Chains A and B, each alone.
Chain A
């Protein structure tokens, strides 16, 4: 009896102590403040055209995106007096909040959906089908690669904010060294070796030596030729370019263990570990942001998403950064990948009852014209084909101080013809695969293992085990 009492006391104590510590550990994972406020300026006119419909639209983003979306909503509301859309801005922990809303059956009617959530939610029937809307002529043709497709090939979403991976560089550094700029045209993309050669010319240690000079000190490098975050998105263009990939879009077979993929991974790792032209993992983490790195000439080229133009374009317009944009170097064929988050009409009771009105708002928010401030400032790219082909629209897009002159060739033409999808656009297992692939690749970036060892010994066994179960 006494023993049971002690056990019970211990358990009770553990519960108390755990809950005490859980509260006081300052866990900031739930700190997100989700403001619902928007300047209410919906017109008070009551037209007799139909009943009043109310929707909620949820989204995330920085301050610029928040302002842009709120303005979009206000414009929409004034154009459609019988529809009122309320913004739901969720700056942090978007997935957690959406899950909480789902559990309490209070989901928004139209929502931006994170790439990691789109497959489970679609499979669970949470979205209304927007494909008929796109198939009709009501919505101008979207780029083919912005579509999310499930394992049956059915489209489950279209990304609203299109992005591709490109290269930014500082023209001044190239001028000073008298080296031609990186090519803006995909047809003239650098080969991998050309790319390394140029990067070496800009990499210097603290004594001014280049990587091929005798006496080069790899532990004291002050400027780098190129910087790139070695994350899951940025490695995929190079895997594809070399003839490999993560998973095949056609039959979902694993491509990661193909010799071409392994070779591509090794080449990326060699940039830092063999050629010393790129910072190593520990240094990349604490590198200054892209604009600071280019402005202070610590780095000559940066491989990053197009969205960095928002910051870099501003630095170009206001701080005199001589920014250039270029296509990625190719290992085999010139190619880049796109990213983007889908906007979906959620299958709430409200949306199902007023599907026509919901579709009106969906069309409105998916139209690049209505998020034009974000496109103009360089944060986003349009997701519609005509913006890449119609000279009028192209002019509208690029004719401002935030887009360098070669933008049309290096980003718009590139983004029209040379994009292939990330695996996450068509592979449901992508999220789980990432959690296996990314930690294992750490061993490669740190130089502890070769790409061949990492893929065959660390990644493939785990992938096979994980995927065979589902």
Chain B
């Protein structure tokens, strides 16, 4: 009797594992294209680039192994490496901090209950969809020291004109301002986060006699820390790889004040033909971004609040 039952159980569990296996195979087949793509077009080239970074390949020549001399040159004798890192970090920190703050403020504004709020949300989001090249040319005109809109506004208030991207000290701040214009996309995600905040908490604050600031600071902010965390990480990864503005607007100038790392890398590879050297630079950037991301992840335990769990 037990044998029969045991056999039935075994049969059932075997059937179940058969189905499970079929489903597993189906699952793997579905994700196979993505995995293949990841290996072919991301991981494969990354490994190749690591390999190339230990050579002084010039593309039209044969590959010649040079060991770590590229890395050695970068850290000891490169004329632009440290300046470029500094400039890029300055830009990245500036962008991320200002854009995060702006996203939170804008997101909270978008959350208001008023007429035409969807129109306002659309308008605030639109700068994000302007192509990078087009907005570069647009901002170049805004930044014009003589006839640009920004200087006209300044002189209207009696403030002396600025040179914006054409002077060393104001170049990066100008580009940060330009990036701030696209805070709408982060704001949208903040808005989504705010919609999830339980309303009874706001009421609780009201009952305790708190105004809009208390609601904002003690309820909204903690609940959207995951979103802020996301924006921080994505913001850093993105702005550390800034390229188009340097390429179109400033060509790294004036006097290398906007020599973004990816632009510098591009120049080494495609103008100077030093593909090995550029690959080494690329890997250094990768590690910088990875370390920064790891730092942010680590710190997140201290301030990110995953509500509910």
By a beta-carbon cutoff of 8 Å, the part of chain A in contact with chain B is 6-7, 10-11, 13-15, 17-19, 21-22, 25-29, 93, 95-96, 99-100, 102-103, 116-117, 120-121, 124, 126, 219, 280-283, 285-286, 431-432, 435-436, 438-440, 442-443, 446, 448, 462, 465-466, 469
Check A432 against B243 for contact (C-beta < 8 Å).
no
Q: Which B residues are CB-close (under 8 A) to A99? A: 59-60, 270, 273
Partner of A466, one of B79, B133, B255, B266: B79
Residue of B nearest to A28 (CB): B133
Check B77 against A465 for contact (C-beta < 8 Å).
yes
Partner of A282, one of B131, B144, B256, B286: B144
Check B293 against A14 for contact (C-beta < 8 Å).
yes
Q: Which B residues are CB-close (under 8 A) to A280? A: 145, 166
A282 to B170, CA, bound (A): 13
Q: Does B49 contact A (CB under 8 A)?
A: no
Given that A15-B42, A282-B166, A436-B79 are contacting pairs, would A21 and B237 also be in contact in the complex, using a CB cutoff of 8 Å? yes
A438 to B147, CA, bound (A): 26
Check A432 against B272 for contact (C-beta < 8 Å).
yes
Q: Which A residues are CB-close (under 8 A) to B167? A: 282, 446
Partner of B79, one of A17, A93, A448, A465: A465
Segment touching A, from B108-116, B187-195, B219-227, B246-254: B246-254
Residue of A nearest to B165 (CB): A282
Q: Which B residues are CB-close (under 8 A) to A13? A: 293
Check B272 against A121 for contact (C-beta < 8 Å).
no
Q: Which B residues are CB-close (under 8 A) to A17? A: 233-234, 237, 293
Q: Which B residues are CB-close (under 8 A) to A28? A: 131-133, 244
Closest A-B pairs by Cβ, 10 of them: A282-B166, A102-B60, A442-B254, A282-B145, A442-B255, A99-B59, A26-B132, A439-B256, A286-B144, A10-B294
Check B267 against A435 for contact (C-beta < 8 Å).
yes
Q: Does B164 contact A (CB under 8 A)?
A: yes
Best-surrounded residue of B144, B168, B254 (most CB of chain A within 10 A): B254
A442 to B58, CA, bound (A): 30
Residue of B nearest to A100 (CB): B59
Residue of B nearest to A461 (CB): B79
By a beta-carbon cutoff of 8 Å, the part of chain B in contact with chain A is 42-43, 46, 58-61, 77, 79-80, 131-133, 140-141, 143-147, 161, 163-164, 166-168, 233-234, 237-238, 241, 243-244, 247, 252-256, 259, 266-267, 270-273, 286, 289-290, 293-294, 297
Main secondary structure on A side of the interface with B: helix
Q: Which A residues are CB-close (under 8 A) to B140? A: 285-286
Residue of B nearest to A441 (CB): B255
Residue of A nearest to B268 (CB): A435
A126 to B61, CA, bound (A): 9
Check A446 against B241 for contact (C-beta < 8 Å).
no
A438 to B254, CA, bound (A): 9
A174 to B145, CA, bound (A): 29
Check A18 against B237 for contact (C-beta < 8 Å).
yes
A281 to B145, CA, bound (A): 10
Given contacts A100-B59, A446-B254, 7 further A-B contacts (CB under 8 A): A13-B293, A18-B289, A27-B244, A282-B145, A282-B164, A435-B80, A440-B255
Q: Which A residues are CB-close (under 8 A) to B290? A: 10-11, 14
- List, sorted by A's number, 26 A–B pairs whose CB atoms are closer than 8 Å: A14-B237, A14-B286, A17-B237, A19-B42, A21-B234, A21-B241, A25-B238, A25-B243, A25-B244, A27-B132, A28-B244, A29-B243, A93-B270, A103-B60, A117-B273, A121-B60, A124-B60, A219-B161, A280-B166, A283-B145, A435-B272, A436-B79, A439-B256, A443-B168, A462-B79, A469-B77
